Amino acid sequence: MKLKRRIFSVFAFALAASANSFAHAETSYTSLITFGDSLTDGGSYSSNVIAGSGGLLPSGIHYRFTTNFLDGSARTWAEYLAASMGLQLEPNTIDGVFNLSGSAGTNYAQGGAQVTVDPGLSSAPGAPARSVEKQIDAFLAVNPQLHSSQLFVLWAGANDLFHANPSAHGVDIATAAVDLAGQIQRLKSAGATYIVVNGLPNLGQTPLYSNTFINNLLSSGDPALAAAASTLFNTTLKQSISGKNVIYVDTAKLLGAVVADPVRFGFNPVAGTVPYGLYVANNGSLIYPPGDTTCLTHVLTSLVDPREKAFANSFIFTDPIHPTDAAHALFGQAVFGVLRAVDQKATTLFETSYAIRQQGIDLEPRLSAAALLKGDGMNGELRHVGDNQFWFGGSLGGYQHNSTQLDPDYSANTEAGSVGVDRMITSDALLGAAFSYSMGHSTFGNDVETYDSRLSLATLYGTAFLARHLYVNASLQYGDLSLRNIQRTVALGATSITSSGSTAGTYKAARIGLGYENSYGSWSCNPSISLTAARTLIKGYTESDTPVSLAYGDAEYNSNIVTFAISCRMNGSKDRWLPAIRLGVDHDLDQSPMTVGIGPDNSLIATLPIDKPMRTFYNASVGVQRIMNAGTVSISLAGSAGSDFTDRSYMLSARYTIPF
């Protein structure tokens, strides 16, 4: 009796400690910090532009290098990205001197900036075009220690290409790419975990080079050379960041697709720029006359009546080099799609492991003391040596995961079947084997991503009495996982693009447990504790080639789960339906993050740590069993949820056990 009370006390203490002290972890970004040039500048020069106009330009809006609408509604790609993530992104504005006050924004990009050269291209009084290096200097001066909830994005290099020395063109471009990788390393060294860098689009496809009239007017040069220079920069950059676990976004592939088929993305069938200087009001008159095409004048101080937004946004470019507001939205959606893909792969990894654990509850009766007793413990008599029991069953399950900052809602439905056999190998021990096969279909949000899953799982298990009432159990599991018909969809302007793929994976687990069973009136109850070490691996794969397709490296989830549970069942005569109940708490002792690999292709995979959405789960199951001469029928309904119910599942199962 003392031993019984002691075990119940230990179980109650462990259960309470788990419920009160175990907290789940969840990855989310609290801030977005950007560095770059006019493609990212969200209005750093606005104050000086307004002041320099002598009151002619409206105040209260940010002046960007895009289609500046009078209502201030135009955005850069980074601002569209921030909005998709629910984050603020304000420009770090220039007020004669660089503003480092507490109210300064986290968008440090400045029009005209080069990577390390100061001053940058087309700098002017009040518009210093400070390099990415100086931008990062300013940020680190007030933020010396970085953390994993910050997302850093860089997009630079175009002005270095424009400014390259004709006699050393290739050297200057390659140097700029290496220098940009060096700036990325500075952020990594300061503690940055998540960094995105955009490659250069094909500058040969901008109107500066591709539009014959503009090219002749400005003597821009050969589009093929501009394309080659862009490729050289991107190739050098990718080589320089290889192994640094930085997410690289291929903007050249996206722009190429848009230029090749503008109508598909919602643009004018003639790919190109808004007619030069024709920023028109509703009455057709010019708001501001066309100026030159440098980065710091014409586009920055030209405005569009909001009533002409549809017209202006029907073009890809707002001037010879800058995208329109609508084109910026595409780039923002593309980068958001990459970040979302990281989260979706992590969710797939986590939910797969979660589903396997949930299905494992169906094995619990064979790992309990009742499996060692005749009639599932109805009379307390041990099965004799050599006694065999065959069992089979099936289950239907459902899983849900609430939306996060990047992920839409996740849901899955599964169907599983299992068979097993065990044999009493001694007077107080059994050894068994089981096999299960499950099929599932998973969906993120409104078909943002869907896939089908298949799992074949083999299990060896054993249960034995150590002493009267006290028993031990153990199991080994190996599973082959298949993810098929993976369809990932990214919305891009007027269209949506779907990339497809398939992959495989494995699940391995080892468990050891201890339990104590005794009778209390007409009920038998047993508290138990177990430890399960598991590893889920989803192999890398490459999606079908689309403008936004990605490659994935291996994704891995390791866990060491301690489970505290108490199971009770009613004892009674044969041919009666008898109730049973189980309550449990699972907690993952492994604090290491999951890992997910992603990149533009399999030669440049960034392996990223992703916090586990949660590490504590609560389980409950209720059921009935009917013991007959021919065997035992069991039916149960099990449910599981995380500590805040962001993850939850159910499983309805039935099993039939036959002695032979």
Which residues 6+ apart lie within 8 Å of 14 measured at CB?
Answer: 529, 564
Contacts 24+ apart (CB under 8 A), 58-64: 58/303, 62/91, 63/300, 63/301, 64/300
pLDDT in tens, 510-554: 999 999 998 888 899 999 999 999 999 999 999 999 999 999 999
The pair of three-digit structure tokens given for residue 208, joined into one six-digit string:
């500066």
State the Cα–Cα distance between residues 271 and 468, nearest whole angstrom: 82
3-state secondary structure of 597: strand
- Of 5-9, 60-64, 370-374, 438-442, which one has max mean pLDDT? 438-442
What's the longest Cα–Cα distance across the chain? 99
pLDDT in tens, 360-417: 777 889 999 999 998 766 667 899 999 999 999 999 999 998 888 888 899 999 999 9
> 11: pLDDT confidence band, cut at 50, 70 and 90?
very low
CA-based nearest residue to 606, from 540, 659, 538: 540
> 354: pLDDT confidence band, cut at 50, 70 and 90?
confident
DSSP state of 493: T
CA-based nearest residue to 172, from 117, 249, 104: 117
DSSP state of 124: B
pLDDT at 451: 97
Burial profile 109-124: b = 16 or more Cβ within 10 angstroms, e = fewer: bbbbbbbbbebbbbbb
* Domains recognised in the chain with CATH numbers: 31-323 (3.40.50.1110), 336-659 (2.40.128.130)
pTM for the full predicted model: 0.89
Residue 282, phi then psi, degrees to nearest 5: -60, -30
- Mean pLDDT for the stretch of residues 52-73: 85
In the chain the first and final C-alpha atoms are separated, in Å, by 36
State the Cα–Cα distance between residues 328 and 324, nearest whole angstrom: 6
State the Cα–Cα distance between residues 76 and 311, nearest whole angstrom: 18
pLDDT at 447: 84
* Chain-centroid distance, C-alpha 80: 18
Apex CA 363: angle with CA 421 and CA 477, to 5°? 80
Q: How far is CA 380 from CA 134, 375, 465, in A?
A: 78, 9, 13
pLDDT at 538: 98
pLDDT at 94: 82
State the Cα–Cα distance between residues 444 and 184, nearest whole angstrom: 32
Strand partners, 477: 459, 509
pLDDT in tens, 595-645: 999 999 999 999 999 998 888 999 999 999 998 988 999 999 999 998 777
Q: What is the chain's mean pLDDT, rounded? A: 87
3-state secondary structure of 376: helix
**101 pLDDT higher than 60:** no
